[in-house]
Homo-oligomer: A and B are copies of this chain.
Amino acid sequence: MATISDVAARAGVSTATVSRTLNGKSTVDPELAARVLEAAEELGYHPNGLARNLRRQETAVLALIISDVENPFFTSIARGVEDLAQVSGYSVVLCNSDENEDKERRYLDVALQERVAGVLLSPTGPATNVTRLRRLGTPVVAVDRPLPGTDCDQVLVDTRRAARQATRHLVANGYRRVACLSGPSGVRTADDRLSGYLDAVGEENAIYRRAEYRAEGARRAAGDLLDQPAPPDALLVANSTMAIGVLEALAARKLRAGRDIGIVSFDDAPWTTLIDPPLTVVAQPAYEIGRVAAQLLLARIADSTREPVTTTLDAQLIDRQSSHR
């Protein structure tokens, strides 16, 4: 494990010169530089990022803490973040909090301890706490869900409006008993989607269930709804992972989407056009969320005095067959 001083010794120069050569900072005599490069090559030298970061008090890595790696929505965000970060020379490490406060806290600690340059985070819920990170001056950007009680940059989707619109779409298509299957209470997107649904049908007509943002919970909740004496004739589903559970529940009861029960789901997962009938969805600009969030984070790293901004993107209803009789 060759160090900078090994290289210096071999090249017959000081460590300072080696450092300068390797970082291309101030000018170095071409001949010395060549000797340094050669020595480094021969020794198989690789800079120790730990020492460098310790000295420089900065890192070129961003942490992206998402709440579910198995959800295509979040992996699209990840790609957006990554693509933008990469061109600025940052690398992105992805951490999966798995909708679990403990894991999230642990990764937040890692980010803190490793002194990453910045953190992008989709908070698991109201308990998420980034004050320690903030105290240290590490910039944080919230994606998909706001960070309660903190004034940091945020990239959100107007999900309440989208839910309202989707619900009205179902009503306009002749469904009379539209229900909603949303995520856990306290998760902002879940709350907002439910609110949008309520906006559209009114409190008095509300039929809804909450479950984890997972297939399994959604299957049970959908089953529960469908087995009521007066079951709903349409369903707004809060994300594509849940939609899988819902569709399984339908299949188990030989119910056909569209004809028997109207379905609209959030998130345009790649498989939604493959099923019969194709799923009407609310497409969120996930990749764009990632890009914008990374932009905001980089801007804040460059200038910590910027006013925090909240960017709200629009979702788009893609009308397919599952919402038509």
Residues on A facing B (Cβ under 8 Å): 1, 44, 46-54, 59, 61, 63, 69-70, 72, 75-76, 78-79, 82, 86, 91-96, 98, 103, 106-107, 110, 112-115, 132, 135-137, 215, 241, 244, 247-248, 251, 269-271, 273-276
CB-nearest residue of chain B relative to A114? B49
Question: What chain B residues lie within 8 Å of A72 (beta carbons)?
Answer: 70
A274 in complex: contacting residue of B50, B63, B270, B271, CB < 8 Å: B271
A46 to B103, CA, bound (A): 18
A92 to B44, CA, bound (A): 27
A46 in complex: contacting residue of B52, B107, B112, B271, CB < 8 Å: B112
Find out whether the CB atom of A247 lies under 8 angstroms from the CB atom of B270.
Answer: no
A80 to chain B, nearest CB (A): 12
Find out whether the CB atom of B275 lies under 8 angstroms from the CB atom of A50.
Answer: no
Given that A244-B270, A274-B244 are known contacts, is A136 also in contact with B1, CB under 8 Å in the complex?
yes
Inter-chain pairs besides A52-B113, A91-B110, A93-B94, 13 sampled, C-beta below 8 Å: A1-B136, A46-B132, A46-B136, A61-B114, A70-B72, A75-B75, A82-B96, A93-B93, A244-B274, A251-B274, A269-B271, A271-B274, A276-B276
A271 to B245, CA, bound (A): 10
Q: In the assembly, how many copies of this chain are there?
A: 2
Question: What chain B residues lie within 8 Å of A106 (beta carbons)?
Answer: 86, 91
Question: What chain B residues lie within 8 Å of A86 (beta carbons)?
Answer: 103, 106
Find out whether the CB atom of A115 lies under 8 angstroms from the CB atom of B49.
Answer: yes
Find out whether the CB atom of A69 lies under 8 angstroms from the CB atom of B75.
Answer: yes
A94 in complex: contacting residue of B51, B69, B76, B275, CB < 8 Å: B69
Question: What chain B residues lie within 8 Å of A98 (beta carbons)?
Answer: 79, 82
A110 to B53, CA, bound (A): 12
Find out whether the CB atom of A91 lies under 8 angstroms from the CB atom of B95.
Answer: yes
A248 in complex: contacting residue of B52, B75, B248, B273, CB < 8 Å: B273
A253 to chain B, nearest CB (A): 14
Find out whether the CB atom of A1 lies under 8 angstroms from the CB atom of B47.
Answer: no
Question: What chain B residues lie within 8 Å of A52 (beta carbons)?
Answer: 113
Question: What chain B residues lie within 8 Å of A271 (beta carbons)?
Answer: 244, 269, 271, 274-275
CB-nearest residue of chain B relative to A70? B75
Find out whether the CB atom of B44 lies under 8 angstroms from the CB atom of A132.
Answer: yes
Given that A70-B72, A136-B1, A244-B270 are known contacts, is A54 also in contact with B50, CB under 8 Å in the complex?
yes
